[in-house]
Structure 1
């Protein structure tokens, strides 16, 4: 298999190697989400309320070097909602400059290594706040460095996976991508439908992100990605983050860690090991223990219509889940070099190319 090599080792050897791989490596989660509210009222950070510094301790304990947080906007005025969320993130980072660094440019990856700060790439789940092409400049000035073109239905840029009409990238969407390319902002097509994904990859002069999606060949959920798109993404220099949400890993239960790893293996078999990473989109504590009243009030977002399956893989619902993933990759025969690429190196390489002036 491309990207995996046979390794003869005992379980103890593998556990020791996994533990020694994660902490010194550059790690990157391309769809990091987290819970707030503590054990009493756990919820997702869907508003613009201040964040708690205890998050930083969790990120440190997890061995996270950097992450992309693609925030969701619930404000009916999505332009204003995005401004407020960017203000919240900028305030949080400014209050903790001893520990955090906003990723704005390629050189910031070097600064992360030099200072030990945790890098935060601020992203948005929504293209709707772009009311004009010049809004790309405006939001870049506020720190936005990545944007999903469309998440639900149809917007002025393109079409999402839940829209039956099946449109593609619009003329306005092409203009937005051109400006994002010029300014060094990542184009993310995770929630786009097939046509919009292919159109956006073809339209972009820089590599494109698929920050959180899985292989449709293994799980034919509309949110997942065809082999054609995976190959096109890789051919254009992009990278795809795979996620462990059960409904995107298997079409039916049981769902195991091995099933999740199968998606990484599948992408490697299609493209080699340089175009896949981790876009976990799961809080350390998981989603399933969040009370229903505190979950995202958007039908079908956390669960597809009629979907009653649990979301989490419990084996990955803990702070040191990277150790679990790395151990499993070693047992599947991946080399240490390829594992370093998968847990962070691939996204670093692609983001350096996107953010370069």
Structure 2
């Protein structure tokens, strides 16, 4: 790597927006932390609960994992604010944040958004792949939009400062979320459907809507979402980055590589029923991009003509911008 790119990567705040950290992922998870840190990542957002989880078990798991990361202070720092993330970078620590992929851990009750925010959840997906009481996921054939309850979730998330994420949501549902939100919205780990026609990817219409609100699309590195032969790699990720950057600008692109270090769990999930095969997923193990490929990605961005500002944005500053515009300190929310 050229010296100027080494320097750029050392200065960059690198944010990975999709790291599986539900109980099913934890056999392999702890060994991944030094890999992310040594590769140059600065902040990881952990999926602490999903739409198949219920409130009490998720709360217990979240409490246990916050304690786990507090006990890993040699390597990690829990981050609840943009200032925390930058402080973790300055201190050479791996910033650890948390999110939910689905509203079931809230019991589909918008009154719990504020409580989860206060506990440290900083963004959430409302609908995960299939239909729930809030709206349709990306695999629902009817493609209905947000329900009345889903609309209440959007309004309350905006009030509280909870960032909304439309990865896994249906097209109509995601467009409704973006339209109704008065804050930027992200797709934390979704690639471009124009490049790979998979239901988990976002259309150009969705990308334009997200960008118009100032949001960010984090590129997923799983091969099923990147290429027709389900292969992965930095080159395949770059094609999706380029498409979105050309469509709406590099300031609306980030990293949601979603490295699948829990392949045995995904294989069990795939084999448990026909849905994943029917919706275009290959049987695991899935190809993806590992943390150690980060320098190769920086070199690829440079070769494709991205300047330093664009590269720093894609690596993490774009997500930081959205967080700064959305998250609110507790004391600013008490009178809302």
TM over 0.5: yes
- Structure 1 runs not aligned, ≥5 long: 1-13, 35-43
1:308 is aligned to 282
- Is the 8 Å Cα contact of residues 227 and 236 (structure 2) preserved in structure 1? yes
Shift of 1:65: 0.8
- Is the 8 Å Cα contact of residues 247 and 311 (structure 1) preserved in structure 2? no
| Distance in 1, Cα, partners of 2:53 & 2:16 | 29
- Is the 8 Å Cα contact of residues 214 and 248 (structure 1) preserved in structure 2? yes
* 56 and 313 in structure 1: CA distance in 2 versus 1, 3 angstrom threshold: closer
1:46 is aligned to 24
2:304 is aligned to 332
Q: Does 1:88 align with 2:60?
A: no
| Distance in 2, Cα, partners of 1:351 & 1:92 | 24
| Distance in 1, Cα, partners of 2:228 & 2:29 | 36
Higher share in helix? 2
| Distance in 2, Cα, partners of 1:296 & 1:233 | 30
| Distance in 2, Cα, partners of 1:292 & 1:77 | 16
- The equivalent position to 1:280 in structure 2, one of 242, 257, 279, is 257
Q: TM-score, normalized by length of structure 1?
A: 0.82
Shift of 1:207: 0.8
Shift of 1:138: 2.1
Shift of 1:306: 6.1
Partner SS, residue 214 of structure 1: coil
Q: Does 1:31 align with 2:8?
A: no
| Distance in 1, Cα, partners of 2:232 & 2:72 | 39
User: Within 5 A, what are the aligned runs for 1:244-283?
Assistant: 244-252=221-229, 257-283=234-260
Equivalent pairs, count: 328
- Structure 2 runs not aligned, ≥5 long: 330-336
- The equivalent position to 1:174 in structure 2, one of 151, 156, 162, is 151
Deviates more, 1:55-64 or 1:195-204: 55-64
* 116 and 296 in structure 1: CA distance in 2 versus 1, 3 angstrom threshold: farther
Structure number with greater CO (CA < 8 Å, separation at least 6) is: 1
Shift of 1:302: 7.2
CA RMSD of aligned residues (A): 2.8
| Distance in 1, Cα, partners of 2:216 & 2:311 | 15
Q: Does 1:159 align with 2:165?
A: no
- Is the 8 Å Cα contact of residues 45 and 97 (structure 2) preserved in structure 1? yes
- The equivalent position to 1:200 in structure 2, one of 158, 170, 177, is 177
* 106 and 196 in structure 1: CA distance in 2 versus 1, 3 angstrom threshold: same
Partner SS, residue 187 of structure 1: strand
| Distance in 1, Cα, partners of 2:189 & 2:119 | 24
User: Within 5 A, what are the aligned runs for 1:74-153?
Assistant: 78-131=54-107, 132-153=109-130
